[in-house]
Amino acid sequence: MALSREQYDNIMLEYSRIRDEHRHELTRRRNLVYARIPEFRELESAVPSRAAQSLQELLGEESDAVNVRSKLQEDLEQLRLRREALLTGHGFPADYLEMTYACPHCHDTGYIDGQKCQCLRAREVRLLYDQSHLRELTAANNFSVLSTEFYQGEDLDRFRRAWQATWNFVNNFDSDYENLYFYGTVGTGKSFLSICAAKELIQSGHSVLYFSAAALFEKLSALAFNYQNKEEYRTFAEDLADVQLLIIDDLGTELASSFVSGQLFSIINERHLRRRSTIISTNLSLEDLRNRYSDRVCSRIISGYTACKLTGPDIRIIKKVRNNGANNKTK
Protein backbone atom coordinates (compact mmCIF):
# COMPACT_ATOMS: atom_id res chain seq x y z
CA MET A 1 0.00 0.00 0.00
CA ALA A 2 1.33 3.38 -0.93
CA LEU A 3 1.51 6.44 1.27
CA SER A 4 1.89 10.09 0.44
CA ARG A 5 5.46 11.14 -0.25
CA GLU A 6 5.57 13.10 3.01
CA GLN A 7 4.39 10.10 5.03
CA TYR A 8 6.88 7.79 3.32
CA ASP A 9 9.75 10.25 3.87
CA ASN A 10 8.85 10.56 7.56
CA ILE A 11 8.99 6.78 7.95
CA MET A 12 12.39 6.63 6.22
CA LEU A 13 13.68 9.41 8.49
CA GLU A 14 12.55 7.38 11.48
CA TYR A 15 14.49 4.37 10.19
CA SER A 16 17.54 6.58 9.75
CA ARG A 17 17.19 7.87 13.31
CA ILE A 18 16.94 4.32 14.66
CA ARG A 19 20.08 3.25 12.77
CA ASP A 20 21.98 6.29 14.06
CA GLU A 21 20.96 5.49 17.63
CA HIS A 22 22.20 1.91 17.28
CA ARG A 23 25.50 3.05 15.72
CA HIS A 24 26.06 5.52 18.53
CA GLU A 25 25.24 2.83 21.08
CA LEU A 26 27.71 0.44 19.45
CA THR A 27 30.41 3.14 19.48
CA ARG A 28 29.74 3.75 23.17
CA ARG A 29 30.05 0.06 23.93
CA ARG A 30 33.25 -0.30 21.92
CA ASN A 31 34.87 2.64 23.72
CA LEU A 32 33.86 1.11 27.04
CA VAL A 33 35.46 -2.21 26.09
CA TYR A 34 38.66 -0.47 24.90
CA ALA A 35 38.87 1.37 28.20
CA ARG A 36 38.42 -1.76 30.32
CA ILE A 37 40.29 -4.22 28.08
CA PRO A 38 43.25 -2.42 26.43
CA GLU A 39 44.40 -5.56 24.59
CA PHE A 40 41.02 -5.91 22.88
CA ARG A 41 41.73 -3.04 20.46
CA GLU A 42 44.95 -4.72 19.33
CA LEU A 43 43.14 -8.02 18.86
CA GLU A 44 40.46 -6.34 16.79
CA SER A 45 43.01 -4.66 14.54
CA ALA A 46 44.51 -8.10 13.85
CA VAL A 47 41.47 -9.04 11.75
CA PRO A 48 42.05 -6.64 8.82
CA SER A 49 45.81 -7.26 9.08
CA ARG A 50 45.30 -10.99 8.73
CA ALA A 51 42.93 -10.48 5.79
CA ALA A 52 45.48 -8.23 4.03
CA GLN A 53 48.15 -10.87 4.54
CA SER A 54 45.96 -13.51 2.91
CA LEU A 55 45.32 -11.21 -0.05
CA GLN A 56 49.06 -10.86 -0.62
CA GLU A 57 49.45 -14.60 -0.46
CA LEU A 58 46.65 -15.09 -3.00
CA LEU A 59 48.40 -12.71 -5.39
CA GLY A 60 51.59 -14.75 -5.22
CA GLU A 61 52.51 -16.79 -8.25
CA GLU A 62 52.70 -20.11 -6.40
CA SER A 63 49.80 -19.57 -4.03
CA ASP A 64 47.36 -22.35 -3.19
CA ALA A 65 44.07 -20.44 -3.08
CA VAL A 66 42.15 -23.19 -1.33
CA ASN A 67 44.70 -23.57 1.44
CA VAL A 68 45.12 -19.79 1.83
CA ARG A 69 41.37 -19.26 2.24
CA SER A 70 41.06 -22.23 4.58
CA LYS A 71 43.91 -20.93 6.77
CA LEU A 72 42.39 -17.42 6.78
CA GLN A 73 39.04 -18.82 7.89
CA GLU A 74 40.68 -20.77 10.70
CA ASP A 75 42.66 -17.74 11.89
CA LEU A 76 39.64 -15.44 11.81
CA GLU A 77 37.67 -17.97 13.81
CA GLN A 78 40.43 -18.15 16.40
CA LEU A 79 40.51 -14.35 16.62
CA ARG A 80 36.73 -14.31 17.08
CA LEU A 81 36.92 -16.85 19.90
CA ARG A 82 39.71 -14.91 21.59
CA ARG A 83 37.69 -11.68 21.39
CA GLU A 84 34.64 -13.41 22.87
CA ALA A 85 36.80 -14.89 25.65
CA LEU A 86 38.14 -11.43 26.52
CA LEU A 87 34.63 -9.98 26.62
CA THR A 88 33.11 -12.71 28.75
CA GLY A 89 36.18 -12.82 30.97
CA HIS A 90 35.62 -9.16 31.83
CA GLY A 91 31.90 -9.53 32.47
CA PHE A 92 30.56 -8.52 29.04
CA PRO A 93 28.17 -10.66 26.96
CA ALA A 94 29.85 -12.46 24.05
CA ASP A 95 27.76 -10.46 21.54
CA TYR A 96 28.28 -7.12 23.30
CA LEU A 97 29.92 -5.54 20.24
CA GLU A 98 27.48 -6.84 17.66
CA MET A 99 25.14 -4.32 16.04
CA THR A 100 21.61 -4.47 17.40
CA TYR A 101 18.48 -3.76 15.33
CA ALA A 102 14.88 -2.93 16.11
CA CYS A 103 14.03 -5.21 13.16
CA PRO A 104 16.50 -8.09 12.71
CA HIS A 105 14.99 -8.95 9.32
CA CYS A 106 15.72 -5.73 7.39
CA HIS A 107 18.31 -4.25 9.78
CA ASP A 108 16.16 -1.14 10.16
CA THR A 109 16.14 -0.26 6.47
CA GLY A 110 12.52 -1.19 5.74
CA TYR A 111 13.47 -3.42 2.80
CA ILE A 112 14.68 -6.97 2.20
CA ASP A 113 16.11 -7.64 -1.27
CA GLY A 114 14.18 -4.71 -2.66
CA GLN A 115 10.89 -5.80 -1.11
CA LYS A 116 9.13 -4.05 1.75
CA CYS A 117 9.81 -5.63 5.11
CA GLN A 118 6.93 -6.51 7.42
CA CYS A 119 8.00 -3.73 9.78
CA LEU A 120 7.67 -1.13 7.01
CA ARG A 121 4.27 -2.49 6.00
CA ALA A 122 3.19 -2.34 9.63
CA ARG A 123 4.24 1.31 9.86
CA GLU A 124 2.34 2.10 6.68
CA VAL A 125 -0.75 0.33 7.90
CA ARG A 126 -0.64 2.09 11.27
CA LEU A 127 -0.74 5.45 9.51
CA LEU A 128 -3.68 4.36 7.38
CA TYR A 129 -5.48 2.92 10.42
CA ASP A 130 -5.12 6.24 12.20
CA GLN A 131 -6.57 8.05 9.21
CA SER A 132 -9.63 5.80 9.18
CA HIS A 133 -10.01 5.69 13.01
CA LEU A 134 -10.05 1.90 12.88
CA ARG A 135 -7.91 1.59 15.99
CA GLU A 136 -10.55 3.33 18.12
CA LEU A 137 -13.38 1.34 16.57
CA THR A 138 -11.78 -2.05 17.23
CA ALA A 139 -11.32 -1.20 20.90
CA ALA A 140 -15.10 -1.20 21.41
CA ASN A 141 -16.12 -3.63 18.66
CA ASN A 142 -14.56 -7.08 18.88
CA PHE A 143 -15.52 -10.69 19.47
CA SER A 144 -14.70 -10.46 23.16
CA VAL A 145 -17.75 -8.25 23.76
CA LEU A 146 -20.09 -10.13 21.42
CA SER A 147 -23.52 -10.82 22.96
CA THR A 148 -26.75 -12.37 21.67
CA GLU A 149 -28.96 -10.99 24.44
CA PHE A 150 -30.64 -8.50 22.12
CA TYR A 151 -31.86 -11.10 19.61
CA GLN A 152 -34.75 -13.56 19.66
CA GLY A 153 -36.26 -16.12 17.34
CA GLU A 154 -35.41 -15.66 13.67
CA ASP A 155 -33.37 -12.53 14.44
CA LEU A 156 -31.15 -14.63 16.71
CA ASP A 157 -30.74 -17.34 14.08
CA ARG A 158 -29.70 -14.75 11.50
CA PHE A 159 -27.21 -13.13 13.82
CA ARG A 160 -25.66 -16.49 14.69
CA ARG A 161 -25.31 -17.37 11.01
CA ALA A 162 -23.73 -13.98 10.30
CA TRP A 163 -21.38 -14.35 13.27
CA GLN A 164 -20.35 -17.84 12.09
CA ALA A 165 -19.79 -16.53 8.56
CA THR A 166 -17.58 -13.77 9.97
CA TRP A 167 -15.61 -16.19 12.11
CA ASN A 168 -15.07 -18.54 9.16
CA PHE A 169 -14.06 -15.58 7.01
CA VAL A 170 -11.35 -14.63 9.50
CA ASN A 171 -10.09 -18.17 10.14
CA ASN A 172 -9.88 -19.03 6.43
CA PHE A 173 -8.64 -15.63 5.29
CA ASP A 174 -5.23 -16.83 4.11
CA SER A 175 -6.53 -19.89 2.29
CA ASP A 176 -9.95 -18.91 0.92
CA TYR A 177 -10.87 -15.82 -1.06
CA GLU A 178 -14.23 -14.57 0.22
CA ASN A 179 -16.26 -11.37 0.50
CA LEU A 180 -19.08 -10.53 2.93
CA TYR A 181 -22.20 -8.44 2.42
CA PHE A 182 -24.02 -7.56 5.65
CA TYR A 183 -27.45 -6.07 5.09
CA GLY A 184 -30.64 -5.56 7.04
CA THR A 185 -32.31 -3.21 9.47
CA VAL A 186 -30.60 -0.42 11.40
CA GLY A 187 -28.57 -1.21 14.51
CA THR A 188 -28.54 -5.00 14.25
CA GLY A 189 -24.78 -5.63 14.32
CA LYS A 190 -23.64 -5.23 10.72
CA SER A 191 -20.89 -2.73 11.44
CA PHE A 192 -20.05 -4.57 14.64
CA LEU A 193 -19.28 -7.83 12.82
CA SER A 194 -17.30 -5.98 10.15
CA ILE A 195 -15.06 -4.38 12.74
CA CYS A 196 -14.74 -7.67 14.64
CA ALA A 197 -13.26 -9.18 11.49
CA ALA A 198 -10.92 -6.21 11.14
CA LYS A 199 -9.72 -6.57 14.72
CA GLU A 200 -8.87 -10.26 14.32
CA LEU A 201 -7.07 -9.74 11.04
CA ILE A 202 -5.08 -6.78 12.32
CA GLN A 203 -3.89 -8.89 15.25
CA SER A 204 -2.72 -11.59 12.85
CA GLY A 205 -0.69 -9.07 10.84
CA HIS A 206 -3.00 -8.38 7.91
CA SER A 207 -3.54 -4.97 6.37
CA VAL A 208 -7.04 -3.55 6.74
CA LEU A 209 -8.68 -0.32 5.64
CA TYR A 210 -12.03 0.85 6.97
CA PHE A 211 -14.17 3.65 5.55
CA SER A 212 -17.72 4.76 5.97
CA ALA A 213 -19.21 4.98 2.47
CA ALA A 214 -19.80 8.71 2.87
CA ALA A 215 -16.17 9.40 3.84
CA LEU A 216 -14.79 7.07 1.14
CA PHE A 217 -16.63 8.61 -1.81
CA GLU A 218 -16.13 12.14 -0.50
CA LYS A 219 -12.37 11.54 -0.46
CA LEU A 220 -12.41 9.93 -3.90
CA SER A 221 -14.39 12.86 -5.30
CA ALA A 222 -12.06 15.44 -3.78
CA LEU A 223 -9.03 13.72 -5.28
CA ALA A 224 -10.49 12.80 -8.65
CA PHE A 225 -11.77 16.27 -9.54
CA ASN A 226 -8.66 18.19 -8.53
CA TYR A 227 -5.93 18.12 -11.16
CA GLN A 228 -3.22 18.77 -8.57
CA ASN A 229 -4.25 15.60 -6.72
CA LYS A 230 -4.01 13.21 -9.66
CA GLU A 231 -1.01 11.34 -8.28
CA GLU A 232 -2.52 11.16 -4.81
CA TYR A 233 -5.73 9.87 -6.36
CA ARG A 234 -3.87 7.09 -8.17
CA THR A 235 -2.04 6.22 -4.97
CA PHE A 236 -5.26 6.11 -2.95
CA ALA A 237 -7.01 4.03 -5.62
CA GLU A 238 -4.11 1.57 -5.49
CA ASP A 239 -4.43 1.36 -1.70
CA LEU A 240 -8.13 0.57 -2.05
CA ALA A 241 -7.44 -2.06 -4.68
CA ASP A 242 -4.58 -3.83 -2.96
CA VAL A 243 -5.13 -3.70 0.82
CA GLN A 244 -5.77 -7.22 2.10
CA LEU A 245 -9.17 -6.34 3.56
CA LEU A 246 -11.28 -3.32 2.66
CA ILE A 247 -14.38 -2.52 4.74
CA ILE A 248 -17.01 -0.19 3.30
CA ASP A 249 -19.45 0.60 6.10
CA ASP A 250 -22.98 2.02 5.76
CA LEU A 251 -23.11 1.80 1.99
CA GLY A 252 -26.05 3.90 0.81
CA THR A 253 -25.53 6.79 3.22
CA GLU A 254 -23.38 8.67 0.68
CA LEU A 255 -24.88 11.04 -1.90
CA ALA A 256 -25.98 9.02 -4.92
CA SER A 257 -24.40 9.87 -8.28
CA SER A 258 -23.05 8.26 -11.42
CA PHE A 259 -19.56 8.98 -10.09
CA VAL A 260 -20.24 7.01 -6.90
CA SER A 261 -21.75 4.12 -8.82
CA GLY A 262 -18.79 3.97 -11.18
CA GLN A 263 -16.26 4.19 -8.37
CA LEU A 264 -18.01 1.48 -6.38
CA PHE A 265 -17.96 -0.92 -9.29
CA SER A 266 -14.33 -0.08 -10.06
CA ILE A 267 -13.30 -0.81 -6.47
CA ILE A 268 -15.14 -4.10 -6.03
CA ASN A 269 -14.28 -5.31 -9.53
CA GLU A 270 -10.56 -4.53 -9.25
CA ARG A 271 -10.41 -6.15 -5.84
CA HIS A 272 -12.17 -9.21 -7.22
CA LEU A 273 -9.63 -9.46 -10.05
CA ARG A 274 -6.83 -9.28 -7.49
CA ARG A 275 -8.66 -11.68 -5.16
CA ARG A 276 -8.61 -9.15 -2.33
CA SER A 277 -11.39 -9.55 0.22
CA THR A 278 -14.04 -6.90 0.87
CA ILE A 279 -16.72 -6.48 3.52
CA ILE A 280 -19.69 -4.24 2.79
CA SER A 281 -22.29 -3.35 5.41
CA THR A 282 -25.49 -1.56 4.45
CA ASN A 283 -29.18 -1.07 5.20
CA LEU A 284 -29.85 -1.72 1.50
CA SER A 285 -31.37 -4.98 0.35
CA LEU A 286 -30.01 -6.53 -2.83
CA GLU A 287 -33.00 -5.04 -4.71
CA ASP A 288 -32.27 -1.61 -3.23
CA LEU A 289 -28.65 -2.05 -4.24
CA ARG A 290 -29.63 -2.61 -7.87
CA ASN A 291 -31.95 0.38 -7.92
CA ARG A 292 -29.45 2.74 -6.29
CA TYR A 293 -26.31 1.77 -8.19
CA SER A 294 -26.39 -0.46 -11.27
CA ASP A 295 -27.04 -3.98 -12.46
CA ARG A 296 -23.32 -4.66 -12.77
CA VAL A 297 -22.66 -3.61 -9.16
CA CYS A 298 -25.49 -5.81 -7.96
CA SER A 299 -24.40 -8.69 -10.17
CA ARG A 300 -20.83 -8.55 -8.89
CA ILE A 301 -21.99 -8.60 -5.26
CA ILE A 302 -24.60 -11.34 -5.76
CA SER A 303 -22.08 -13.57 -7.54
CA GLY A 304 -19.04 -12.80 -5.43
CA TYR A 305 -20.21 -12.10 -1.87
CA THR A 306 -21.63 -14.15 0.97
CA ALA A 307 -24.81 -12.24 1.88
CA CYS A 308 -25.79 -12.15 5.55
CA LYS A 309 -29.12 -10.58 6.50
CA LEU A 310 -29.50 -9.20 10.03
CA THR A 311 -32.81 -8.13 11.54
CA GLY A 312 -34.17 -7.15 14.91
CA PRO A 313 -34.44 -4.13 17.20
CA ASP A 314 -31.97 -1.24 17.04
CA ILE A 315 -29.38 -2.34 19.62
CA ARG A 316 -27.85 1.12 19.82
CA ILE A 317 -31.16 2.61 20.90
CA ILE A 318 -31.70 -0.15 23.48
CA LYS A 319 -28.24 0.47 24.95
CA LYS A 320 -28.80 4.21 25.00
CA VAL A 321 -32.11 3.81 26.85
CA ARG A 322 -30.45 1.47 29.37
CA ASN A 323 -27.59 3.88 29.95
CA ASN A 324 -29.97 6.81 30.41
CA GLY A 325 -31.98 4.78 32.88
CA ALA A 326 -28.88 3.83 34.83
CA ASN A 327 -27.70 7.44 34.90
CA ASN A 328 -31.09 8.64 36.15
CA LYS A 329 -30.97 6.13 39.01
CA THR A 330 -27.63 7.47 40.19
CA LYS A 331 -28.84 11.06 40.32
Q: Are residue 266 and residue 187 in the same domain, yes or no?
A: yes
Which pLDDT value is given to residue 27? 95
Q: Could you tell me if residue 94 is inside a domain?
A: yes
Q: Are residue 205 and residue 309 in the same domain, yes or no?
A: yes
Residue 252, pLDDT > 70, answer yes
Cβ pair 86, 97 in contact under 8 A: no
Q: Are residue 157 and residue 250 in the same domain, yes or no?
A: yes
Specify whether the backbone of 280 is left (phi greater than 0), alpha (psi in -120 to 50) or beta: beta
Q: Could you tell me if residue 124 is inside a domain?
A: no
Given 85, 103, 121, which residue is the final one in a domain?
A: 103
Q: Could you tell me if residue 119 is inside a domain?
A: no
Residue 168: pLDDT band with limits 50, 70, 90 = very high
Question: Can you give the residue range of the structural domain that contains 231?
Answer: 133-321
Q: Could you tell me if residue 9 is inside a domain?
A: no
Count of domains in the chain?
2
Q: Are residue 47 and residue 98 in the same domain, yes or no?
A: yes
Q: What is the pLDDT of residues 44-100, one digit of tens each?
A: 887 777 767 766 666 665 656 777 677 778 877 888 888 889 999 999 999 999 999
Specify whether the backbone of 91 is left (phi greater than 0), alpha (psi in -120 to 50) or beta: left
**For residue 276, which of 321, 227, 233, 242 has the smallest C-alpha distance?**
242
Q: Are residue 303 and residue 210 in the same domain, yes or no?
A: yes
CA angle 192, 197, 200 (to 5 degrees): 125
Q: Could you tell me if residue 205 is inside a domain?
A: yes
C-alpha pair distances (Å), 280 with each of 15, 118, 133, 231, 307: 36, 27, 17, 27, 10
Is the pTM here over 0.75, yes or no? no
CATH of the domain at 214: 3.40.50.300
Q: Are residue 202 and residue 306 in the same domain, yes or no?
A: yes
Percent of the chain with pLDDT over 90: 53
Cβ pair 207, 245 in contact under 8 A: yes
Q: Are residue 186 and residue 231 in the same domain, yes or no?
A: yes
End-to-end Cα distance, the chain: 51
